[in-house]
Copies of this chain bind each other. A is one copy, B any other.
Amino acid sequence: MELDERKLKILQAVVRNYLESGEPVGSRTISKYTDLNLSSATIRNEMSDLEELNYIIQPHTSAGRIPTDKGYRLYVDNMMSEKVQEIENIREELDKKADKIEILLQHVAKLLAVNTNYTSMVSKPKYKHKKVKFVQLSEVDDTQLLAVIVIEGNIVKNKIINLKLPMDKDMVLKLNILLNTFLQGLDLTEINMSLIQKMKEQAGEYSRLVGKILDVIAEAVGEEENLEIYTSGATNILRYPELSDAQKASELLYTFEEKDELTKLINNTNFGEEMQDRGIQVYIGDESPLQVMKDCSVVTATYEIEEGVYGKIGIVGPKRMDYEKVVGTLQTLMVQLDDIFKNKT
């Protein structure tokens, strides 16, 4: 059975109302709230139908209705097709901080949390198949070497290496040439055992040092792998009574504190269901990849900082989330971020 215009409007009214109040909404409220000019009795009949169709549900007899996951879903799908455009001046805020990507992202997270009153999370972009761009050893002092590695995306890693014996200046130069000749332009998977063997041979007595440096490279690249996540506004969940009972709140907050669970969310790119614009995905209740969030809704968006290098931004809140605002904000943010990254490069 298809929903006619009127049922749709009523459903929408129920959802909207519930978003604001968090209380089950009754027929009389809808009757007044909408411009349908129908009596509560008529609404009741329609609501009864909607309940039968599993879009809304009564928490108990003689209570108003609240949307089911299916109801939210319909609402979201419907709403998404409408043009949402709130050009905000988020941009200004961002420009100030656009210097270091970590700080920028942390800032983005905060901005989102403050703007929406939900919890936000931002993942650091994942560089895949990063190539080594540049390697350099320098003497800091007699017994300390500094190894600097630049990989694609201008990620710079460094490590201090302690030496037992002072090193010849010429040797440092030689090693530098050796390292760069061998490694430049290579991707981590291409640095294999036979290559390492060759390098060590050429390094002669310093073969152990070369080994160490390669370790640093591996570590540097690897570190980037286990993707970092920045969160903000975790305490916002306490604003919503339906999430803030001791048990749930505690679990949720713990998840945000520990963060490692969140990677599941970030990695869950379900291309099939992906939304049209900018990869915005909405998970409602059980749809979420995370069990702890079964009473929440999660909205994620993908941002791209350069070809093939992307990260995710997410909002976690109660099911009665203000989807319009969240999706709108995320969309604007995506545009802004795009801009910033384009102009930067």
Q: List the interface of chain A (C-beta within 8 A of B).
A: 133-134, 136, 138, 140-141, 144, 146, 148, 150, 154, 156, 158, 160, 232-235, 238, 244, 246, 249-250, 253-254, 257
Contacts and interface: CB of A to CB of B under 8 A. Distances in A.
A234 B235 CA distance: 11
A232 to B, nearest CB: 8
Contact of A244 (B141, B148, B233, B246): B246
B148 A146 contact: yes
A232 B259 CA distance: 12
A246 B160 CA distance: 47
Nearest to A160: B154
In the complex, which of the residues A133, A154, A233 has the most CB atoms of chain B within 10 Å of its own CB atom? A154
Contact of A154 (B136, B144, B235): B144
27 contacts: A134-B140, A134-B141, A134-B146, A136-B136, A136-B146, A138-B148, A140-B150, A146-B148, A146-B156, A148-B148, A148-B156, A150-B160, A154-B160, A156-B158, A156-B160, A232-B257, A233-B257, A234-B253, A234-B257, A235-B250, A235-B253, A235-B254, A235-B257, A238-B250, A238-B253, A244-B246, A253-B253
Given A134-B138, A146-B150, A233-B257, 19 more contacts: A134-B140, A136-B138, A140-B150, A140-B154, A144-B154, A146-B148, A146-B156, A148-B148, A148-B158, A156-B158, A232-B257, A235-B253, A235-B254, A235-B257, A238-B246, A238-B249, A238-B250, A238-B253, A253-B253
